Amino acid sequence: MRKTRDTMVMAALRHTPLMLFVVVFLLFGWLSPRFVSYQSLENIVKQASYIGIMAVGMTFVLLTAGIDLSVGSNMYLSAVVAGLLMRHYNLPASLALVACLVVGLLFGVVNALVVTRLKIIPFVATLGTLWIGRGLGLWLTESVPVEFPQSVTRIGSERLFDGSVPLPIVLFALVVVCAAVLLRRTALGRQIYAVGNDIEAAQKAGVNTARVQGTAFVVCGLLAALGGFISVSQLGIVNAGFGKDREFDAIAAAVLGGTSLFGGIGSVFPGTVLGAILIQMVTIGLVSAQVDLYLQPLVAAAIIFAAVLLDSLRTRQLATLSRRRIRVEELGGDS
Amino acid sequence: MADSILQFEGVSKSFFGVRALDDVSFSLPGGHLLGLIGENGAGKTTLMNILGGVLTADSGTMTLRAGKYAPRRPADATEAGITFIHQELNLFTNLSIADNIFIDRFPRLGRSPFIDRRQTRRQTAKLLESLSLSLAPQTLVDRLAPGERQLVEIAKALSTGAGIILFDEPTTSLTAAETQRLFDIIRRLREQGKSMIYISHNLGNVLELADDIVVLRDGRVVDAGPARDFTIDRMISRMVGRAVDQVFPTRRSRPSEDIVLEVKALSQAGIVRDINLVLHKAEVLGVFGLMGSGRTELARMLFGLEPFEQGRIRVNGAPCDCISPTDSIRRGMAFVTENRREEGLLMDATVLDNVGLVSLPAFASPRFPRLLRHRQLGGAVARIVESMRIKSGPVARTLARNLSGGNQQKVVIGKWLMSRPAILIMDEPTRGIDVGAKYEVYGIVNDLTARGAGILLISSELEELMGLCDRILVMSKGEITGDFDRARFAQESILHAAFEGHQGRR
């Protein structure tokens, strides 16, 4: 009896992010029926896609037990460079996207080198590049907003498959599928988990840990730039505050999805995807439930805090439950 | 005599002018198992690090299969077919067994970057089967018992096709049954022609397994020869450089009638059931049991590290229902945990900080209780370090990490001696430390009881318990299955009690 109950509790705890997702969804649906429509759902996922893409990159870094605080600055700098190139050289939108991704990639390479070659811990290293990135962008623009032509904003409202799915959602899905396959089905992916679990053991096992850590930062940088570009295509303008504090949204999305800040635990799908959509759902849900505008940040923060608290309780409970089970096996005579 | 497969010739190594290895020469015959013994600090680890490419020798050469062997990186050793099984396991608990074994060389699907998962699983299953380990390749390592993890390490070593395998204290976390299983596997590997070097402080095991034995002392080879010419006495006397006529020091005190710790009907579902025990002043009470018998969990409950559902604990006659480590320390309890690296020491703190940690409140300045009296604290720590003969550099600058295993353990014990405990719980206090350091730990146990402390001593080494204890309790499957007075100590009946409830299965 007790055993089946424990198994059920365990199963429920394992899927907390999903259950939380459903609960929040139902709650807002109850508060404002409009919220449950297909239109509003599509809107949530679309709005979540750029943070979601960045959060996928962040998940890579978190899995190696690192952190990247510079993604907000990265998306600012890469978007600024793309915008200035478009303005001065009349670049088409496609080449601007390439330029944006190249800047993001290089930003990731710098982070990777600072962490693996100069051996500066990721928190401090990326705090440094956060300031450098923002500073470079401000210097390039003299803090004047950079406007983007229609060719870019059209991308933001583009729909694929006979106009049924918005482009940002398609890109988000594509990134998630690639990332999930990379993490699960390639040696590099398994090594990312290994490095996050125990970097010394990984070294001894012959894993090139610098390469693994570095790759995570490069992936994170690339995806930060892509997320930034999608955001630009929806806004049409990059002002001096663009991307500020977005690193925390990315980290929050990953952590809400069950990724551990200590490395080695977490997944892109469903984990980070759920986390990113959950955050957006709260933001939009508060608007459609007509919560006082000035109360919204507080309520959103409270919901996210509750989610993270629930998750930490869950991890502790899971640990005790699974430990007890092992004991019972040991004591119960299964060798 | 078999041809030698690996040869050391005149290998020397110094660290900052201190000789760690001095002209070491010996050879490993192909297909043999060579037992390498020596006290902590004798140079075994340095020698193995040179073999593994972690360090390079100052002078001397190594010959592998008649060719010169000079590894510069750990990968060179792997390539040359030499593999290591370390005392601390290098497994990733968040990954499956298969992932762990193939982490640095997954089979791929053709030339794609994707892992051939079926191949990985099949090869892992084959390896596990060759070690008679009935586990699914996808099982997470997190779920494995210590013994199973050790065998996974061996599977990993075998998967590289290595011809030379090094074991560094492979049995410290294994139960008796798991150890025997490991030995069976080692013997089978030898039949298959693998050459092995086996390092251990458990001299009985070395004698049981080895074909040849090499003894190191102070960086030099002091004895070498076929194992059949060795006895435990000869091994010990060569290791310490003197004859050890008595392993256990004589007790100077007798247990009194005063009870310091009383436990009544302590239970926690799935862990321990109905534990009753009484510890007297100046008594050494042993707790013997196989791994997984609940002995460590019991110790942790007594100290307030784990909860219990039922039962009562009395310390010095006063009941304490809800206990935490802070309360326990205030009541005069101390706990030397079984895992000094992770639980017993702040590895990156100095010896001073480690030894002083528990007693900091006693060194508060009288006028400003938030401030510490540093000089007094330093003096007290220095006295402890001196009296325990802890070999360390300046205590305020030497990190715990840089001490040898035996000295680290003395630091852990020293920390509790500072707080002058009335009750000391020791969980495997001599695990992984050498004969000399063991003897000193035994001496400390004696001194403490002479001062009136009651000691609860948990150990897997029955001889140690029989040599030190006034009484031995035996645990099996979370219950106390035996209670032996000194007069009734008999190895066979104690072991019998430890296996109670385990009959009918291997």
Instruction: Tell me the domain boundaries of chain B.
Output: 4-240, 246-332+421-506, 345-419
**What per-residue confidence (pLDDT) applies to A64?**
96
B477 and A331 within 8 Å at the Cβ level: the answer is yes
Strands B195-199 and B333-336 come out as: unpaired
Q: Which residues of B touch A330 (CB under 8 A)?
A: 145, 292
What is the token pair recorded at A171?
Answer: 């890109």
B92 and A206 within 8 Å at the Cβ level: the answer is no
Nearest-CA distance from B226 to chain A in Å? 33
Strands, sheet with B318-319, edge to edge from the N-terminal-most edge strand: B272-280, B259-268, B310-315, B318-319
Nearest-CA distance from A206 to chain B in Å? 6
A206 and B143 within 8 Å at the Cβ level: the answer is no
**What per-residue confidence (pLDDT) applies to A312?**
75
Q: A252 CB contacts (<8 Å, ≥6 apart)?
A: A275, A279, A304, A308
Torsion region of B372: left, alpha or beta (phi above 0 gives left; psi -120 to 50 gives alpha): beta
- CATH code assigned to B246-332+421-506: 3.40.50.300
Which residues of A, range 255-284, sit inside 8 Å of B by Cβ?
264-265
Identify from B83, B84, B92, B118 which residue to disrupt to test chain A contact, counting A C-beta atoms within 10 A and taking the largest count. Answer: B92
Please give the ipTM for the structure prediction. 0.81
Torsion region of B475: left, alpha or beta (phi above 0 gives left; psi -120 to 50 gives alpha): beta
**What per-residue confidence (pLDDT) applies to A158?**
82
Nearest-CA distance from A84 to chain B in Å? 37
**B101 or B339, higher pLDDT:** B101
Q: B414 CB contacts (<8 Å, ≥6 apart)?
A: B355, B384, B385, B388, B390
* Tokens 């005190």 found at: B253
* Tokens 């794609």 found at: B112
A322 and B104 within 8 Å at the Cβ level: the answer is no
Which residue from B204, B195, B147, B143 is spatially nearest to B171, judged by alpha carbons? B147
Which residues of A, range 197-236, sit inside 8 Å of B by Cβ?
197-198, 200-202, 204-207
Phi (first) and psi of residue A186, to 5 degrees: -120, 155
Question: Rounded distance, CA B262 to CA B285, Å?
Answer: 12
Asked if B21 contacts B57 with a C-beta cutoff of 8 angstroms, the reply is yes
Angle (deg, nearest 10), helices B146-159 and B117-130:
110
Instruction: Determine what percent of chain A is predicted with pLDDT higher than 70.
Output: 91
What is the token pair recorded at B486?
Answer: 């000194």
What are the b/e assignments for A300-310, b being 16+ CB within 10 Å? beebbeebeeb
**B146 or A100, higher pLDDT:** A100
Which residue from B330, B376, B378, B327 is spatially nearest to B352, judged by alpha carbons? B378
Q: Which residues of B touch A198 (CB under 8 A)?
A: 90, 92
Phi (first) and psi of residue A138, to 5 degrees: -65, -35
B347-376: average pLDDT: 86
pLDDT in tens, B62-104: 999 888 999 888 778 888 889 888 777 789 989 999 999 999 8
Identify from B54, B85, B94 which residue to disrupt to test chain A contact, counting A C-beta atoms within 10 A and taking the largest count. Answer: B94
Half-sphere exposure of B225 (CA within 13 A, CB side): 9
Nearest-CA distance from B268 to chain A in Å? 11
Torsion region of B478: left, alpha or beta (phi above 0 gives left; psi -120 to 50 gives alpha): left
A194 and B78 within 8 Å at the Cβ level: the answer is no
Over its length of 335 residues, how does chain A's per-residue pLDDT go in tens digits?
Answer: 556 776 777 677 767 778 878 888 888 888 888 788 888 888 899 999 999 999 999 999 999 999 999 999 999 999 999 999 999 998 899 999 999 999 999 999 999 999 999 999 999 999 999 999 999 999 999 989 999 998 888 888 888 887 788 999 999 999 999 999 999 999 999 999 999 998 988 887 878 999 999 999 999 999 999 999 999 999 999 999 999 989 988 998 998 888 888 888 889 988 899 999 988 888 888 888 888 888 888 887 887 787 778 777 777 776 766 654 434 434 333 33
Asked if A202 contacts B103 with a C-beta cutoff of 8 angstroms, the reply is yes
Question: Rounded distance, CA B486 to CA B505, Å?
Answer: 31
**What per-residue confidence (pLDDT) applies to A137?**
95
Instruction: Determine what percent of chain B is predicted with pLDDT higher than 70.
Output: 95
Q: A26 CB contacts (<8 Å, ≥6 apart)?
A: none
Q: Which residues of A touch B117 (CB under 8 A)?
A: 185
Question: Rounded distance, CA B95 to CA A270, Å?
Answer: 18
Q: Answer whether residue B243 shows pLDDT above 70.
A: no
Strand residue runs (E) in B145-228: 164-168, 195-199, 212-217, 220-226
**What per-residue confidence (pLDDT) applies to A125?**
96
Angle CA(A68)–CA(B93)–CA(B116) in degrees, nearest 5? Answer: 85
Is the Cα dihedral A91, A93, A98, A101 positive or negative? positive
Give, for A237, the enclosing helix (H) or strand (E).
Answer: strand A237-238
A201 and B91 within 8 Å at the Cβ level: the answer is yes
Q: Which residues of A touch B86 (CB under 8 A)?
A: 204
What is the token pair recorded at B161?
Answer: 């096709």
A264 and B292 within 8 Å at the Cβ level: the answer is no
* Tokens 């980290």 found at: A251
Residue pairs spanning A and B at CB distance below 8 A: 82
What is the token pair recorded at B458?
Answer: 């948990």
Nearest-CA distance from A261 to chain B in Å? 14
Q: Which residues of A touch B506 (CB under 8 A)?
A: 335
Phi (first) and psi of residue A173, to 5 degrees: -60, -40
Half-sphere exposure of B432 (CA within 13 A, CB side): 21
Asked if B439 contacts B277 with a C-beta cutoff of 8 angstroms, the reply is no
A265 and B478 within 8 Å at the Cβ level: the answer is no
> B135: which strand partners?
none
**What per-residue confidence (pLDDT) applies to B501?**
64
The total number of residues shown for chain B amounts to 506
Phi (first) and psi of residue A202, to 5 degrees: -65, -40
Task: Using CA coordinates, name the residue in chain B closest to A260.
Answer: B94
| pLDDT band (50, 70, 90) for residue B204 | confident
Question: Rounded distance, CA A86 to CA A237, Å?
Answer: 13
Q: Which residues of B touch A328 (CB under 8 A)?
A: 270
A206 and B271 within 8 Å at the Cβ level: the answer is no
B103 and A207 within 8 Å at the Cβ level: the answer is yes
B94 and A193 within 8 Å at the Cβ level: the answer is yes
Which residue from A334, A335, A325 is spatially nearest to A6, judged by alpha carbons? A325
B74 and A190 within 8 Å at the Cβ level: the answer is no
Q: What Rg do the C-alpha atoms of chain B give, in angstroms?
A: 24
**A129 or B307, higher pLDDT:** A129
pTM here is: 0.74
Task: Using CA coordinates, name the residue in chain A closest to B476.
Answer: A331
Q: Pick from B105, B156, B292: which is nearest to A330 by CB?
A: B292
Question: Rounded distance, CA B138 to CA A264, Å?
Answer: 17
Q: Pick from A201, A326, A331: which is nearest to B143 by CB?
A: A326
Identify from B86, B91, B104 which residue to disrupt to test chain A contact, counting A C-beta atoms within 10 A and taking the largest count. Answer: B104
Nearest-CA distance from B461 to chain A in Å? 21
Arithmetic mean of pLDDT over chain B: 86
Question: Rounded distance, CA A226 to CA A78, Å?
Answer: 9
Q: What Rg do the C-alpha atoms of chain A give, in angstroms?
A: 21
The total number of residues shown for chain A amounts to 335
Question: Rounded distance, CA A153 to CA B486, Å?
Answer: 87
> CB of A312 within 8 Å of any CB in chain B?
no
Instruction: Determine what percent of chain B is predicted with pLDDT higher than 90.
Output: 26
| pLDDT band (50, 70, 90) for residue B417 | confident
Question: Rounded distance, CA B504 to CA A33, Å?
Answer: 64
Which residues of B make CB contacts under 8 Å with A?
74-75, 78, 86, 90-95, 99, 103-106, 108, 113-115, 117, 143, 145, 156, 270-271, 292, 294, 297, 477-478, 501-502, 505-506
What is the token pair recorded at B243?
Answer: 């004859």
B271 and A324 within 8 Å at the Cβ level: the answer is yes
Asked if A55 contacts A254 with a C-beta cutoff of 8 angstroms, the reply is yes
Q: Which residues of A touch B292 (CB under 8 A)?
A: 327, 330-331
A191 and B292 within 8 Å at the Cβ level: the answer is no
**What per-residue confidence (pLDDT) applies to B150?**
85
**What per-residue confidence (pLDDT) applies to B98?**
93
> CB of A88 within 8 Å of any CB in chain B?
no
Give, for A75, the enclosing helix (H) or strand (E).
Answer: helix A71-89
Q: Which residues of A touch B91 (CB under 8 A)?
A: 201
- The amino acid that residue B178 corresponds to is E
Neighbours of B308 (CB within 10 A): 22
Nearest-CA distance from B136 to chain A in Å? 14
pLDDT in tens, B448-492: 899 889 999 998 778 888 889 999 999 988 889 999 998 888 877
B4-240 is classed CATH 3.40.50.300 = yes
Identify from A204, A215, A318, A334 which residue to disrupt to test chain B contact, counting B C-beta atoms within 10 A and taking the largest count. Answer: A204
Matching fold, domains B4-240 and B246-332+421-506: yes
Question: Rounded distance, CA B336 to CA B361, Å?
Answer: 20
**What per-residue confidence (pLDDT) applies to A61?**
97
What is the token pair recorded at B453?
Answer: 């402390």
B99 and A194 within 8 Å at the Cβ level: the answer is yes
A194 and B95 within 8 Å at the Cβ level: the answer is yes
Task: Using CA coordinates, name the residue in chain A closest to B99.
Answer: A190
